[in-house]
Amino acid sequence: MRGTTKRPRTAKTITARAFDALADSGADVTPYLDWSKARRPGREVQRVNVDFPVDLLREIDQEARRLGVTRQAFIKIRLADSLQQP
């Protein structure tokens, strides 16, 4: 007998019809989802480095704390907002 290693399953398996019926009924379908290869098309990430003056960074950190978000989240929010304005 050959030794084989089975990969542990990350999600339960059901038919597409059964999955659709569960989803349509409002049941929790997360046990049937494998998130390990989930992607958000058009939302790939590329890391960048940006240098900020210390005074500006203090203001960013202060505003991020006020909003209850991380520095990175605050910078992303403000950049996205400024790009969406006409």
Given a contact cutoff of 8 angstroms between Cβ atoms, the answer to whether 14 and 32 are in contact is yes
The identity of residue 68, as a single letter, is G
Query: For residue 79, what are the CA distances in angstroms to 9, 13, 66, 75?
Result: 40, 42, 18, 6
Per-residue pLDDT tens listing for the chain (86 residues): 555 555 555 678 899 999 999 999 999 999 988 888 888 888 888 899 999 999 999 999 999 999 999 999 999 999 999 999 87
Given a contact cutoff of 8 angstroms between Cβ atoms, the answer to whether 50 and 78 are in contact is no
Size (the chain), residues: 86
Instruction: Report the alpha-carbon distance of residue 34 to residue 39 in Å, rounded.
Output: 11
All domains of the chain in start order, with CATH: 9-37 (no CATH), 48-86 (1.10.1220)
